[in-house]
Amino acid sequence: MTTEWFDRVTEELQDHLNSICEEYDQVGHMNINRASKHPRIEFFVSTEDEERDYFCTILFDPYNEEFYVESFDVELLQPTRIILDDITDIVEAVHESFHEFLTDDSDSELYYLDDNDDDDFEDDTDEITVEEIDVEWETPEVTAFLIDDEMEVTYQFGVDSANGDGVLRRVSRIWTDDEELEDESTFTFKKDEASTIIAMIASHMDRMVGYDEIIDL
């Protein structure tokens, strides 16, 4: 296990990034985090509130001496690695992520209501606070279950641009003769939680019941 390749790349990377494009040169920043099992290079822009919006993370596997970015295979429902063989691949990955971040669809927003004590809630006096969250959707809506003209369940995965949380959006649609009923929910989680969540689901799927077992198809 060695970090020699990591050190060599990080030493030269800043010079390459300075010429990546004019927009990145003005607002892009890089942070090196060595205090982890897999050292990482994090890229971000600063906000008016002096916070950081991260748009790309490059990780380094010291055992295999390779750089990679993490992705998620929605078909296999498991995390995947995209290997970056050299510094050119790293720069291209950062550049692409940066412009995806800049061109993020402004319509991709989720709205949450703060929790209120139902016992104390009064329509005339209490004010409901709405928190707006910008989500960068990494996938389209993926159909998990479908009965033509009757029922559909879809999932969509994205990343909260404010704090880097994963966001899983579930939409259930039921069609009747008179109307379409839609129920939407979201679940947020940190990157450190993702592998545990996936492993727990995979280990217990044999005990779960599918739609075909409760619906007369």
Q: What is the CATH number of the domain that holds 203?
A: 3.10.450
* Residues 96 and 155 placed together within one structural domain of the fold: no
The verdict on residue 213 lying in a domain is no
The number of domains in the chain is 2
- Same domain for 32 and 86? yes
Domain membership flag for residue 177: yes
Looking at the structure, do residues 161 and 83 belong to the same domain, yes or no? no
The residue type of 61 is D
Residues 87 and 29 in one domain: yes
Q: What's the mean pLDDT in 40-51?
A: 81
Q: If 0-12 CB within 10 Å is exposed, 13-18 middle and 19+ buried, where does residue 124 land? A: exposed
Interval 56-103: pLDDT, tens: 889 998 888 899 988 776 666 677 888 998 899 999 999 988 888 887
Query: pTM of the entire structure?
Result: 0.47
Q: Is residue 167 part of a domain?
A: yes
Would residue 217 count as lying in a domain? no
Residues 75 and 17 in one domain: yes
Q: What is the pLDDT of residue 84?
A: 92
- Of 166 and 104, more confident: 166
Whether 125 maps to a domain, the answer reads: no
Query: What mean pLDDT do residues 151-174 have?
Result: 87
124 in Cβ contact with 113 (< 8 Å): no
Cα separation, 38 vs 162, in Å, equals 23
- In a domain? residue 77: yes
- Percent with pLDDT over 70 in the chain: 78
Domain's final residue, options 78, 102, 126: 102
Q: Are residues 92 and 139 in the same domain?
A: no
What is the DSSP track for 69-117? Answer: EEEEETTTTEEEEEEE-SHHHHHHHHHHHHHHHHT--TT-EEEEEPP--
Whether residue 81 is contained in a domain is answered as: yes
Q: Span 132-142, mean pLDDT?
A: 80
Q: Which domain holds residue 170?
A: 135-208
The answer, yes or no, to whether residue 121 has pLDDT greater than 60, is no
State pLDDT tens for residues 92-101.
999 988 888 8
Q: CA of 84: how far to CAs of 60, 93, 183, 196, in Å?
A: 10, 8, 40, 25
Examine residue 108 and state whether it is found in any structural domain, yes or no: no
